[in-house]
Amino acid sequence: MAYELYYWDGIQGRGEFVRLALEEAGADYIDVTRQPGRGTGAMLEIMKSEAEPHIPFAPPFLKDGDLLISHVANILFYLGPKLSLAPEDESLRYVANGLQLTITDFVAEVHDTHHPIDVSLYYEDQKQEAKARSAAFIRDRIPKFLGYFERVLTRNTKGTEHMVGNALTYVDLSLFQVIEGLTYAFPNAMANSMAEYPALLALHDSVAKRPNIARYLASPRRLAFNEEGIFRHYPDLDAAR
């Protein structure tokens, strides 16, 4: 039976981390809200359902038969072994999950650069605060997170092409997406600093070239980044060149 992925239509958002894993593995999946005749209503129906025993707090969530799994890191922890995108060694799976949760925290901070005060308001209504938060994000947080991931990569005793173990995992795919998203949202800041992260850059480039990923990125299934998603390009929030 095909996996069913539920996420907001029209954006990459957090759903994209799951999509990249499913696409790399060539898995049979349905991106439910993008199906004709289903749409976002099909997702909201589950979220509001009285019959569903385990309602999710928010999308994305994955249905595998009767099982409903929510949160990106949880979905990837579940799918990883089934898609051959998790370490073989069981204890390394907790290492992969720890890295994915660090990515989760980083992505939440990316979101808050444009919504530092109130998610129910527009960016334009909190623009001054967004500028201040973005400045701190570019100055302190990008180097802290990317510096950490670079250190993990370069110290991987099994090879510096992968974040954990000696083979591709979903963590590598997610970091590709983080670099893509940051480069879209903060092109100047990333151009100024990316040379400090050569191993991450090499990882990004090698993921982009994987046949299934390259095919996916060139397909209409890969939506463009836009200002409704997590990674948004607002020139006022970026650094100077």
Query: What is the pattern of x (binds a second copy, CB under 8 A) and - over residues 161-190?
Result: ---x--------------------------
- Of 20-28, 90-98, 190-198, 219-227, the segment contacting a second copy by CB under 8 A is 90-98
Structure token digits, residue 86: 């998790």
In terms of Cα–Cα distance, which of 8, 5, 17, 10 is closest to 180?
A: 17
Q: How many CB atoms lie within 10 A of CB 114?
A: 23
Q: Of these, 27, 42, 55, 167, which contacts a second copy (CB under 8 A)? A: 55
Sign of dihedral through CA atoms 211, 17, 181, 31?
A: positive
Q: Which residue has the tokens 């991106």?
A: 31
The Cα-based distances of 110 to 134, 236, 237 in angstroms read 9, 15, 11
Q: Does 97 bind a second copy (CB under 8 A)?
A: yes
| Residue of 14, 63, 71, 204 that binds a second copy (CB under 8 A) | 71
Q: Of the listed pieces 19-27, 93-101, 195-203, 225-233, which binds a second copy according to CB under 8 A?
A: 93-101
Told to check if 82 binds a second copy by CB under 8 A, we report no
Binding mask 111-150 for a second copy (x = CB under 8 A): -x---xxxxxx-------x--xx--x---x----x--x--
Kindly state the smallest distance separating residue 69's Cβ from a second copy, in Å.
5
Q: Minimum distance from CB of 114 to a second copy (Å)?
A: 13
Binding-site size for a second copy (CB under 8 A) equals 45
Contacts (Cβ under 8 Å, ≥6 apart) of 60: 5, 6, 7, 13, 14, 15, 18, 70, 72, 75
> Which CB atom, from 20 or from 68, has the smaller least distance to a second copy?
68
Nearer Cβ to a second copy, position 155 or 241?
Answer: 155
Report d(CA 68, CA 51) in Å as an integer. Answer: 13
For 104: left if phi > 0, alpha if psi spans -120 to 50, otherwise beta; the answer is alpha
Residues that bind a second copy (CB under 8 A): 50, 53-58, 67-71, 73-74, 77-78, 91, 94-95, 97-98, 101-102, 104-105, 108, 112, 116-121, 129, 132-133, 136, 140, 145, 148, 151-152, 155, 157, 164
